[in-house]
Structure 1
Amino acid sequence: MDKEKLEEELKKIWNETPHSNSENTKEASWEEFRSKAFASKKRMFKPWRYAAAAAVLLFVLIGTGIYFNNEPLSETHLVVAKNVIENQTSKIKYVVLPDSSKVELSPNAKIIYGDNFALNRKIEVDGLVYFKVTKDKQHPFQVFCNETTTTVLGTSFIVNETEDEKVTVELFEGSVQMNIKGQDQKWVLKPGEKFIYANQTASVEEFNRFIDFENEKLAVIGKYIEENYGYKVVIPQDYLNQKITIRINKKEDLKTIVQLISEMYNLNFEINENLKQITFQ
């Protein structure tokens, strides 16, 4: 490819990059690049020179946001090196983050976080996601959803963003602080409170974080575990109709519930993670 053709092709690629600045700025940037890569001095043709120019352009294209925009990165783009986890199944997806925090993604939910997450615990959310956060006072855990920010040290809560951009945060344990982009006001939630942000209006309400089983058959508890935790529960036939009265935190750790049933009925249990099955005997 001759010099004129190569120059034409490179400028075509250059102009296809995102318009983060004005056309005048892009044109000035191109002329500066062109003057260096295609100097008019007479010299022997060296193919490697144009290959190097193409390589420089490729580097510029990869880092377009930095090359065309010298302004500092916006605070809204907090996740740079992205790890994206999305639940494209019809069941809850369980994820353990690099800091050992646990996440449950409902169908169609998505989370995005950076490569240095253990030191910079910032995460973006789309959809319905439950968090059980590992305590780390030196590195606050922040969840960004639409225009809201949830800041925690160690707790369990649900963040949900619906298609109409309504954000709901329900707190089950611990404490969280809520912020809205562009506002100085802060909301600190207590367990059993939920924060709602819709149509640029924020409110805090109470919600029932427990589920009560009063004089229910043990088989009903087994079904509850299957539907909410995704584990099949096998209970001895003689115990299926045994009655139980119990209050459970809706986001209680599964093993805590299983141990409680085991102690109440003097049953042994086995949790098979491969089969996703709990067997009482």
Structure 2
Amino acid sequence: MDKEKLDKEFEKLWSETPLSHSDSEKKASWKQFQSKTFGAKKPKFKIWRYAAAAAVIIFLGIGMGLYFNRGPLEDEIYLASNVIKNTTSKVKIVVLPDSSRVELSPNSKIVYANNFESNRKIIIEGEAYFKVKKDKIHPFQVFCNETTTTVLGTCFTVQGNVHKGVTVALYEGSVQMNVKDQDQKWILKPGEEFIYGNNIAKVTEFQRFMDFENEKLSAVTYYIMENYGYKMTIPEEFDNQRITIRINKKENLKTIVQLISEMYNLNFEINEDLKQITFR
């Protein structure tokens, strides 16, 4: 198939999704995509160039019109991007190119640009917890449905659903929330969550800490098992030991373990294979 026929086939496929856009919008978007993807290149790259373009079209077709529906701050870089899916039943840890950390929940996925370190923009479907590396020059942005979360360095969760809207809960730092086609901005503080759905946005408070007040140490053991999946073993003489502690619900497990070891002057060992913590 020659280039002219291939162009026509791509243009036809491009015009089919999404149906909600006008013909003029589709035509303008196609010309922009065509000029960037099928521009003049050296002949030796010709075959691979078309193969890559075909993959982009297929991705857009199954991605609910991602190119057309992206937020106002997103750009064409998403046509060449990385997609990470979590098809397991457990949280998947993803370390991004800038060293930011993502805890991707089951049945969720993220999409980010190839040049992520200088263009820190992510699209998410589902739910994830972000621990963002600070970079004042390159703001970190998360796009979910019609919302944009902009941060410099912080910890927060984003949960999005096509039918239920978006919830952003802030654990540390500060984030700015924007909604597509709305001028208002919302600045969240730790302990606040932004809820958006049915064109309505609101900010409420949530409990970001787990408090233990004069409770048995075994209560913390149970909490760690339920929330981190690690079995914690302590010496028998500490079974009835009482503890008062406040734990950030998204705190790193090792930080909690180190704190307990210092409080009771215990050594500990973490077995990652067995998912077990042993205090001695």
Name the TM-score class by shorter chain: 0.7 to 0.9
Cα deviations by residue, 1:128-152 (Å, 9 ceiling, x for unpaired): 2111111111111100000100000
Write out aligned runs for 1:178-257 (5 A).
178-257=177-256
Q: 2:153 maps to which residue?
A: 154
Q: 1:153 to 1:264 in 2, by over 3 A?
A: same
Cα deviations by residue, 1:149-198 (Å, 9 ceiling, x for unpaired): 00001110110113514100000110000011112211100011110110
Q: TM-score, normalised by structure 1?
A: 0.75
Aligned structure 1 segments of 4 or more residues deviating by more than 4 angstroms: 10-14, 55-62
Write out aligned runs for 1:1-281 (5 A).
11=5, 14-15=8-9, 17-20=12-15, 59-60=49-50, 62-63=52-53, 76=71, 78=75, 79-281=78-280
Cα deviations by residue, 1:64-103 (Å, 9 ceiling, x for unpaired): 689xxxxxx7654542322222222222222211111111
Q: 1:163 to 1:226 in 2, by over 3 A?
A: farther
Q: 1:272 to 1:227 in 2, by over 3 A?
A: same
Question: Percent sequence identity over matched residues?
Answer: 62
For residue 106 of structure 2, what is the amino acid of its counterpart? P
The Cα RMSD (Å) is 3.0
Query: For 1:57 and 1:253, how far apart are their aligned partners in 2?
Result: 47
Q: 1:167 to 1:214 in 2, by over 3 A?
A: same
Alpha-carbon contact 2:145-2:162 (below 8 Å) kept: no
Q: Which of structures 1 and 2 has the bigger CA Rg?
A: 1
Cα deviations by residue, 1:11-60 (Å, 9 ceiling, x for unpaired): 599547514397xx8xxx9xxxxxxxxxxxxxxxxxxxxxx9xx968845
For residue 63 of structure 1, what is the amino acid of its counterpart? A
Q: Choose 161-170 or 148-157, whichever is displaced more.
A: 161-170
Q: Report the CA distance between 1:118 and its aligned residue.
A: 1.4
3-state DSSP class of the match of 1:129? strand
Question: Structure 2 regions of 5+ residues with no counterpart?
Answer: 17-22, 32-42, 58-66
Q: 1:95 to 1:186 in 2, by over 3 A?
A: same
Q: 1:44 maps to which residue?
A: none
Q: TM-score, normalised by structure 2?
A: 0.75
Query: For 2:147 and 2:7, how far apart are their aligned partners in 1?
Result: 38
Query: For 1:58 and 1:139, how far apart are their aligned partners in 2?
Result: 31
For residue 80 of structure 2, what is the amino acid of its counterpart? A
Q: 1:254 to 1:61 in 2, by over 3 A?
A: closer
Query: For 1:106 and 1:58, how far apart are their aligned partners in 2?
Result: 34
How many residues align? The count is 240
Q: Report the CA distance between 1:208 and its aligned residue.
A: 1.1
Q: 1:181 to 1:84 in 2, by over 3 A?
A: same
Query: For 2:14 and 2:254, how far apart are their aligned partners in 1?
Result: 53
Query: For 1:133 and 1:62, how far apart are their aligned partners in 2?
Result: 31
3-state DSSP class of the match of 1:18? helix
Q: 1:38 maps to which residue?
A: none
Alpha-carbon contact 2:130-2:155 (below 8 Å) kept: yes
